[in-house]
Amino acid sequence: MEITQETDYAVRCVLYLSSIGPEQTVRIEEIAAEMQIPRSFLAKILQKLTQADIVRSYRGVKGGFRLSRPPKEITLLQVVEAVEGPVAMNRCTREGSLCDFKKTCVVHPVWRRLRTIVETYMKDITFEKLKKERRQEAMAQNILTVRRKKT
């Protein structure tokens, strides 16, 4: 019942790209440094995000990554699914075929419903929202810093 480290990295990565102007590109190197993600692992994650059309990649000298659409149109669910695949709580509810209890299992519907709940929640969290909160956090930090300097 846990998201993986990889997913956490992916979310932070997209969050970082959300704070970048839509015209700029950012190199893996920079994202890795800023978000403290192992460089080569991040490269893999960005491949998945590219394939899911969440980010777009540009090769060559001035290359790098940027979001393929505005943060408003990118949800947490999309990012999670891009790296983890479909959010099924339970193997049975995904593979279906392999469960011997098939029709009579009363637990399946419970897991399926939980899945829907989780999906609904994550679908509602856009990176626009996260970005805004992030800016507010930064400002709050700033105020604190200024105050500290005054004293």
Partner DNA sequence: ATAATACGAGACTAATTTTATCCTGTTTAG
Partner DNA sequence: CTAAACAGGATAAAATTAGTCTCGTATTAT
- Least Å distance, CB 22 to DNA, is 16
* Exposure letters 85-117 (e unless 16+ CB within 10 A, then b): eebbbbebbeeeeeeeeeeeeeebeebeebbee
Is residue 31 within 8 A of residue 16, CB to CB? The reply is yes
- The DSSP output letter for 99 is -
CB of 90 or CB of 119, closer to DNA: 90
Site string for its own copies, 38-77 (x = CB under 8 A): --------------------------------------x-
CB of 61 or CB of 98, closer to its own copies: 98
Contact partner at residue 57 from its own copies, DNA, none, CB < 5 to 8 Å by partner kind: DNA
CB of 13 or CB of 126, closer to DNA: 13
- Dihedral over Cα of 139, 141, 146, 151: its sign: positive
Helix, strand, coil fractions of the chain, as percent rounded to 5: 65, 5, 30
Q: Is 146 in the site for its own copies (CB under 8 A)?
A: no
CB of 48 or CB of 57, closer to its own copies: 48
The residues facing 64 across adjacent strands are 58
User: Binding residues for its own copies, how many (CB under 8 A)?
Assistant: 40
Contact partner at residue 52 from DNA, its own copies, none, CB < 5 to 8 Å by partner kind: none
